Amino acid sequence: MTQLLLPISAEIICVEKRITRLIKVNGFISDSDLARYIIGGKHLRAAIVLLIGKMFNVEMEPFHRLSSSIEMLHSATLAHDDLVDGGSIRRNHATSSSHTFPVSLLVGDYLLAQSTSELASLEDPSLMKIHSNILLAVCGGEYQQWYLSGKSVSRQTYFDIIEKKTASLFAGAAEMAAVLSGTDSETRANLREYGLEIGTLYQLVDDVLDFIGDEAVLGKTLRQDLRRGTFTLPTILYQEIQHEDPIPPSGDLSDSQLSIFVEKLRKSGAIDAALGEAELYASSCKKSLLGLPEGMPCRTLESLADFILDQAKNPQC
């Protein structure tokens, strides 16, 4: 990822410095609790924003502010996620949920407030509207997923949930960058579609890596969806392939039971089928960029789809 984003590395550094300044002014929540959610991420959503700004050759300072807002919003969702998921590791650090309940909640709320304040500094009501739509979608998707925990869901429901809870942030980030770039309505729609497709691809790959990835490589707790009874595409496909062998009930799975089921799922063909779906989304990402200005930014946006897909194909890298 570092090599792929080398052409905008100076812009990403500006965003990181801006976020560091913003989170240091709180005076209440410890730097370490904030840093665990900000530091060490790929800054993928920020990179998409910055690349779109570069694509249209516009003044980049507003894109630094938009990128920092998006990154803090994403980090806020991670803090709240850890309360729901119960994961003890995030970005190779112990999560706040591993020691006190209020910390994750307060960190998430604080980062959300900073994200909103940073976006408001751009003084564009259309950006605030997109931001509010992201919040509605993410919260709705998270609640829908929690409500359906332990229940079998269809592919359609699965994709509906991940569009809300993950892809909506990618789509909104790309659309806001298009607005800041002064693009026409067609270009804005195409870039929003790119964000939607790559966000769906990202979550799909993340759900595959939950079964074939390594915690040391990924830097987070794995198998939490299975422990909570949350159906993701690999388990949905396993159920379709091995319908006579039900998914084990969540809640009281021992480590050995979990390992046995994961091995059965890996051998069933469900992972390969899920990767086939991921390849379709990677292709759709590139199609949505057709007709946009050619050059480094557009090529990099295309390559990001390949990078995300390659993570699932080479999970130990």
CB atoms under 10 Å from CB of 109, counted, come to 14
What is the chain's percent helix, strand, coil content, to nearest 5? 75, 0, 25
Q: Identify the pLDDT of residue 199.
A: 97
Q: Identify the pLDDT of residue 243.
A: 72
Does 34 score more than 90 pLDDT? no
Whether 17 is in a domain gets the answer yes
Whether 148 is in a domain gets the answer yes
> Domain containing 269: what range?
6-313
Mean pLDDT of the chain: 86
Instruction: Note the pLDDT tens digit of each residue in 278-297.
Output: 999 999 999 999 999 999 99
Q: Are strands 93-94 and 89-90 parallel, antiparallel or unpaired?
A: antiparallel
CB atoms under 10 Å from CB of 5, counted, come to 21
Average pLDDT over residues 228-250: 80
Instruction: Note the pLDDT tens digit of each residue in 39-51.
Output: 656 799 999 999 9
Report the predicted TM-score, pTM, of the whole model to 2 decimal places.
Answer: 0.89
CATH number at residue 154: 1.10.600.10
Average pLDDT over residues 233-249: 81
Does 202 score more than 90 pLDDT? yes
Whether 84 is in a domain gets the answer yes
Whether 97 is in a domain gets the answer yes
Residue 229 gets the label, from left (phi > 0), alpha (psi -120 to 50) or beta, of: left
DSSP state letter for 294: P
Does 162 score more than 50 pLDDT? yes
Using pLDDT thresholds of 50, 70 and 90, give the confidence band for residue 225.
Answer: confident
CA distances, 252 to each of 49, 196, 231, 258 (Å): 42, 35, 16, 10
Does 122 score more than 80 pLDDT? yes
Q: Say how far apart CA 138 and CA 273 lie, in whole Å.
A: 27
Read off the tokens for 265.
């799922």
Tell me if 141 sits within 8 A of 163, measured CB to CB: yes
Whether 21 is in a domain gets the answer yes
Number of domains in the chain: 1
The percentage of residues in the chain with a pLDDT greater than 90, rounded to a whole number, is: 57
Strand partners, 94: 89
Whether 33 is in a domain gets the answer yes
Whether 153 is in a domain gets the answer yes
Does 315 score more than 60 pLDDT? yes
Whether 1 is in a domain gets the answer no
